[in-house]
Amino acid sequence: MTNIIIKLTYIGLHCWKNCPLDEVKYLKDKHRHTFYITCKKEVSHDDRDIEIIMFKNKILNYLETKYKGDFGIMSCEMIAKDLKNVFELNYCKVLEDNENGAEVL
pLDDT digits (tens, 9 = 90+) for 51-66: 999 999 999 999 999 9
- The fraction of the chain above a pLDDT of 90, given in percent, is 99
| pLDDT score at 42 | 96
Quote the pLDDT of residue 48: 86
pLDDT value of residue 81: 98
Supply the pTM of this predicted model: 0.96
Residue 94 has what pLDDT?
A: 98
**Which of 25-64 are b and which e, b meaning 16 or more Cβ less than 10 Å from the residue's Cβ?**
eeeeeeeebebbbbbbbeeeeeeeeeeeeebbeebeeebe
